[in-house]
């Protein structure tokens, strides 16, 4: 009888050791996968020209591949991966939309300045055509402006409007409280500043605060009529020294 108990006890201890070893190896594998994912998202700051669609597909595949691993350990890690993926997708989308908006406004500015000058030529037919072109361009620009504002507030990549508040707060062009563009005498738009900083912060939910972060975009537009747009992005960890920096983006 004692021999049976000893054998059972030995088998139990051996099983516990094997299970513990398995979990230790699993934990190491999870940490390695998680670090690879974090490293990949941070590397996206080096390439701002990539497609938002391709980026979404890539991050979705990576999250799916990690799902089974993290599901075996803890749902917290899975939420942290999703938090990182969603933050980067929203950030990328808003930056691309801002760049396209500035390029579109530049094209409208060229047409508006030219048509405004044409309105004062001595030839009545040319002046009338220039005025019609000028008014039509203003309508087209207003529509494009509204599309940009709408995309900032509601899109498929940003789940919460708070993620876009920094882009509203640091709008590229001068606008009224009602989001109406403020223009020059020839109806061309006015840049709000030549340099500005966007701080994108997704409020953490169901994750460890130490693993949250904010994304920062330093934007620059040189030139009034046709601004040369440049952007540099970075990730700021949610450490004690950067909490205020992250929060200031949407306060």
Distance CA 124, CA 102 (A): 33
Give DSSP secondary structure letters for 158-213: -SSGGGGHHHHHT-SB-B-TTSPBPB-TTS-B-BS-SEEEEEEEPPP-SS-GGG-E
pLDDT at 1 over 60: no
| Distance separating alpha carbons of residues 238 and 91, to the nearest angstrom | 17
Q: What percent of the chain has pLDDT over 90?
A: 40
d(C-alpha 194, C-alpha 37), whole Å: 34
Could you report the per-residue pLDDT of 120-178, keeping only the tens digit for each? 998 999 999 999 999 999 999 999 999 999 999 999 999 888 888 889 999 999 999 99
Write down the pLDDT at residue 120: 92
Please write the tens of the pLDDT for every residue from 17-60. 443 444 455 556 566 666 666 676 667 666 666 666 766 766 66
Query: Quick one: pLDDT at residue 19?
Result: 38
CA distances from 28 to 64, 84, 211 (A): 19, 20, 18
Rg of the chain over all Cα atoms, to the nearest angstrom? 27
Which tokens go with 72? 């075996």
Cβ distance 48 to 95 under 8 Å? yes
Q: CB of 152 within 8 A of CB of 170?
A: no
Tokens standing for 24? 């230790």
pLDDT above 50 for 214: yes
Decide: 176 and 182 in contact? Cβ < 8 Å: yes
Q: How far apart are CA 200 and CA 218, in angstroms?
A: 11
pLDDT for res 149: 95
Residues 83-119 have pLDDT tens digits of: 888 899 999 999 999 999 999 999 999 999 999 999 9
Query: 215, 236 in Cβ contact below 8 A?
Result: yes
Q: Which of 107, 72, 68 is nearest to 189 (CA)?
A: 107
Instruction: Name the strand (E) or helix (H) holding 7.
Output: helix 2-43
Structure confidence at residue 49 (pLDDT): 61
pLDDT of 227 = 83
How many domains would you assign to the chain?
1
pLDDT of residue 160: 82
Give the pLDDT band (50/70/90) at residue 205.
Answer: confident
Q: Looking at residue 176, what is its pLDDT?
A: 93
CA-to-CA distance for 213 and 207, rounded, in angstroms?
11
Helix (H) or strand (E) holding 219: strand 213-222
- Whether the CB-CB separation of 89 and 49 falls below 8 Å is answered with no
How many residues in total does the chain contain?
251
- 70 and 30 Cβ atoms separated by less than 8 Å: yes
Which residue range is the domain that position 131 belongs to? 2-247
d(CA 41, CA 76): 19
State the pLDDT at residue 145. Answer: 97
pTM for the whole thing? Answer: 0.74
Q: Which of 39-48, 89-98, 190-199, 232-241 has the lowest mean pLDDT?
A: 39-48
Of residues 205, 215, 209, the one with CA closest to residue 166 = 215
């Amino acid at each position: 009888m004692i021999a049976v108990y000893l054998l059972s006890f030995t088998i139990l201890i051996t099983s516990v050791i094997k299970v513990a070893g398995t979990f230790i190896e699993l934990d190491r594998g999870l940490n390695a996968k998680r670090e690879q994912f974090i490293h990949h998202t941070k590397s996206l700051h080096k390439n701002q020209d990539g497609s938002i669609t391709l980026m979404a597909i890539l991050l979705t595949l990576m999250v799916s591949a990690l799902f089974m691993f993290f599901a075996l350990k803890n749902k917290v890690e899975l939420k942290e991966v999703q938090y990182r993926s969603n933050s980067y997708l929203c950030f990328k989308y808003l930056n691309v939309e801002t760049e396209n908006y500035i390029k579109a406004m530049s094209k409208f500015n060229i047409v508006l300045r030219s048509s405004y000058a044409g309105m004062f030529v001595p030839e009545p037919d040319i002046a009338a055509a220039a005025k019609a072109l000028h008014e039509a361009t203003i309508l087209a620009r207003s529509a494009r402006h509204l599309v940009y504002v709408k995309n900032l507030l509601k899109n498929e990549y940003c789940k919460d409007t708070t993620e876009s508040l920094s882009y509203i707060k640091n709008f590229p062009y001068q606008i009224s409280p009602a989001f109406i563009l403020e223009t020059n005498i020839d109806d061309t738009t006015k840049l709000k500043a030549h340099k500005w900083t966007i701080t994108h912060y997704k409020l953490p939910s169901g994750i460890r605060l130490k693993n949250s972060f904010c994304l920062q975009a330093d934007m620059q537009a040189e030139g009034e009529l046709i601004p040369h747009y440049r952007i540099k992005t970075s990730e700021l960890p949610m450490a004690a020294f950067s909490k205020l920096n992250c929060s200031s983006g949407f306060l």
